[in-house]
């Protein structure tokens, strides 16, 4: 079925995403109106995704919409913010179909309900190139209570949420580069690649506990490196303390080089943060209350350059590439 014109397309696929959002003006006007909750600071983030770069062209379209929204929500989580709404621009290739867009929008609608935010506005254009998506998320935080990447202190513990490496291994699984791993594990990893779990509930409880925080989007070593540089410190992490899923452990058992991939790959969308050693009890309680596993994986130190060292039995692992750069 051919794609309808711009206005019919917006009416069919995107207007339903704005129907419970009064300030979206049914996507009919030039801009959206938003009365921010009084006494809150706005938190704004934007991420772009390109087919073949940030997702696989044949990923299920509902997961592509949801991933687009979730990577942005993960940015809010890392600041301790709560979502309000989002704007989205889509550059659609020539072979786009209404059926694809139906599924894409269905995924977004599900996640809007799950995360409590609606479509405020955007733009739909055509492109001779690959599908290119951009989303700006709007959230809020109490004034002065945003988490940032700066603030780690010497001796702070380094923590991560959930498990690390599943997203990077999921991409390998989806591109037939995990031959020795059982199908059920490959499916679990693929799911993590396609559907990040933004840690919003955890993020908004970390103010006053975490001294610095970031979401792991470009690889644990690289993102923890950002916390190091912002603090002028180094981090020593215990490679064996980095939490791996059962599927990731099975993968690393089949090929030990995959452990390095877990530490340096991207697409985790877990939180990495630093916190005083005195907060262990608080963090254990937070973990139980939010139902998000937390693992203490290392310590901030003033030794050496501002860098991340992954240690096993006291020796530094050679990690090769240290993370994913979005530009060559």
Q: Which of residues 258-317 bind its own copies (CB under 8 A)?
A: none
Q: Per the structure block, which two tokens stand in for 291?
A: 């139902």
With a CB cutoff of 8 Å and minimum separation 6, the contacts of 11 are none
The per-residue DSSP string of 132-187 comes to: EEEEEEEEEE-TT----S----TT-EEEEES-SSHHHHHHHHHTT--TTS-HHHHH
Task: Name the residue nearer to its own copies (CB basis): 257 or 328.
Answer: 328
Rounded to whole angstroms, the maximal C-alpha distance in the chain is 62
Q: Rounded to 5 degrees, what angle do the CA atoms 280, 282, 285 make? A: 110
What is each CA distance from 193 to 23, 121, 136, 302, 321, in whole angstroms?
33, 27, 21, 34, 19
x-or-dash string of contact with its own copies, 6-45, rule CB under 8 A: xx-x---------------x--xxxxxxxxx-x--xxxxx
Q: Is 81 left (phi over 0), alpha (psi -120 to 50) or beta?
A: beta
Count of residues near its own copies by CB under 8 A: 73
Quick one: which of 68, 78, 237, 275 contacts its own copies (CB under 8 A)?
78
With a CB cutoff of 8 Å and minimum separation 6, the contacts of 82 are 76, 116, 139, 140, 141, 200, 204
Cα gap 128→51, rounded to integer Å: 13
Residues in 208-227 that interact with its own copies by CB under 8 A: 214-215, 226
Task: Name the residue nearer to its own copies (CB basis): 233 or 247.
Answer: 233
Residues in 86-125 that interact with its own copies by CB under 8 A: 87-92, 94, 120-125
Q: How far is the CB of 283 from its own copies (least distance, A)?
A: 20
Task: Name the residue nearer to its own copies (CB basis): 90 or 245.
Answer: 90
Q: How far is the CB of 45 from its own copies (least distance, A)?
A: 4
Task: Name the residue nearer to its own copies (CB basis): 83 or 185.
Answer: 83
How many CA atoms lie less than 13 Å away from 52 in the CB half-sphere?
5
Quick one: which of 53, 288, 315, 316 contacts its own copies (CB under 8 A)?
53
Q: How far is the CB of 197 from its own copies (least distance, A)?
A: 16
Task: Name the residue nearer to its own copies (CB basis): 89 or 287.
Answer: 89
Task: Name the residue nearer to its own copies (CB basis): 185 or 268.
Answer: 268
What is each CA distance from 12 to 101, 214, 285, in whole angstroms?
9, 37, 46
Contact 248, 172 (CB under 8 A): no
Task: Name the residue nearer to its own copies (CB basis): 213 or 252.
Answer: 213
Q: How far is the CB of 249 from its own copies (least distance, A)?
A: 29
x-or-dash string of contact with its own copies, 125-154, rule CB under 8 A: xxxxxx-x-x-xxxx-x-x--x-xxx----
Quick one: which of 56, 230, 280, 286 contacts its own copies (CB under 8 A)?
230
Q: Strand 118-126 and strand 210-215: pairing?
A: unpaired
Q: Which stretch binds its own copies (CB under 8 A): 82-90, 160-168, 170-178, 231-239?
A: 82-90
Q: Strand 132-141 and strand 82-92: pairing?
A: antiparallel
Burial of 141 (0-12, 13-18, 19+ CB in 10 A): buried
Quick one: which of 75, 103, 111, 166 contacts its own copies (CB under 8 A)?
75
Q: Is 185 in the site for its own copies (CB under 8 A)?
A: no
Task: Name the residue nearer to its own copies (CB basis): 121 or 167.
Answer: 121
């Amino acid at each position: 079925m051919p794609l309808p014109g711009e206005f019919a397309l917006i009416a069919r696929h995107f207007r339903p995403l704005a129907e419970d959002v009064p300030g979206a003006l049914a996507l009919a006007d030039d801009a959206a109106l938003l009365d921010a909750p009084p006494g809150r600071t706005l938190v704004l983030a934007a991420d772009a995704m390109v087919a073949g770069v940030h997702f696989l062209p044949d990923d299920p379209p509902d997961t592509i919409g949801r991933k687009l929204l979730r990577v942005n929500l993960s940015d809010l989580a890392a600041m301790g913010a709560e979502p309000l709404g989002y704007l989205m621009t889509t550059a659609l290739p020539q072979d786009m179909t209404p059926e694809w867009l139906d599924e894409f929008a269905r995924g977004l609608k599900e996640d809007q309900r799950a995360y409590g935010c609606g479509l405020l506005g955007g733009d739909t254009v055509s492109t001779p190139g690959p599908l290119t998506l951009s989303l700006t998320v709007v959230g809020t935080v109490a004034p002065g209570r945003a988490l940032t990447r700066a603030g780690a202190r010497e001796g702070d513990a380094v923590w991560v949420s959930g498990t690390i490496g599943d997203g990077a291994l999921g991409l390998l699984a989806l591109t037939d580069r995990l031959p020795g791993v059982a199908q059920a594990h490959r499916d679990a990893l693929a799911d993590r690649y396609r559907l990040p779990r933004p840690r919003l509930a955890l993020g908004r409880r970390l103010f006053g506990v975490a001294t610095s925080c970031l979401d792991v989007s470009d690889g644990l070593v690289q993102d923890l490196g950002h916390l190091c540089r912002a603090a002028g410190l180094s981090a020593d992490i215990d490679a064996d303390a980095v939490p791996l899923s059962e599927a990731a452990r099975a993968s690393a058992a089949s090929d030990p080089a995959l452990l390095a991939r877990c530490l340096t790959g991207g697409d985790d969308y877990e939180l990495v943060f630093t916190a005083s050693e005195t907060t262990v009890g608080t963090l254990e309680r937070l973990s139980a209350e939010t139902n998000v596993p937390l693992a203490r994986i290392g310590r901030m130190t003033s030794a050496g350059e501002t860098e991340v060292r992954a240690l096993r039995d006291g020796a530094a692992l050679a990690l090769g590439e240290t993370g994913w750069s979005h530009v060559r």
